[in-house]
Amino acid sequence: MKYALSAGAYKGKNVIELLEKVAEHGFHGLEYLSWRSVQDVRELVKAQERLGVGISAVCTTFFNLVDGSSREQYLEGLRQTLAFCKEAGTPSIITQTGQEIPGISREKQKNDMVETLKQCASLCEAAGVVLELEPLNGLVNHPGHFLQFSDESADVIDRVDSPFIKLVFDVYHQQITEGNVIRNAVAYIDRIHHFHIADNPGRKQPGTGELNYINILKAIKDTGFDGFVALECGYTIDTDEALNQFKRDILRHVEQ
């Protein structure tokens, strides 16, 4: 498996400084979600080549998949994001679904999402970039978010039926939404392209809450998954110290 940091791990650092931190810790990628803030993509590419690590994921620019009348706006945002990915060599794009729309049936909203994602699939296939759909919890952080549960998320992926439309499985969100993290991560591994990790409660670094990340990451590894696992979390102590603890107390046992 490959490990990535989120841009929020180090406040005030630019994208190249963040990539230097990724390399310093022996990780493999950086989630730099707000790609529009990259001022010079050519300098970014040079830094990635020098350091041997790069941006592993960005976000698209518009997050409404459930409203069919917004389809072209969504597709245009995706086209712009794909253009950045092509230039920067970024392999994946994260999207959320947007809020559930009152007064419209859930099935209608899901059908609109599937149709939009089918159109996304052809754009992503041409670019060689995977679009990753992320369920979010509605109990703590994202009330009203349309897609929350693993089984429904997997159903959307199956209906789109493209290797370029997959899931981000965020362990923190899914622990809050439904629990059964290992069971669901393993059951839906064929639909998952990417994992996010943070502990619960608090959304801080693994090892600060109730989740047993040694067991979780071992179970994911045992499936043969070789994609990115990104620390999308806050930190209760100095970031460098927290990452060293994570490597010593968790990764060392997972990778044995």
Catalytic residues: 134, 232
CA atoms within 13 A on the CB side of 186: 13
Q: What residues contact 36, with CB distance under 8 A and at least 6 apart?
A: 61
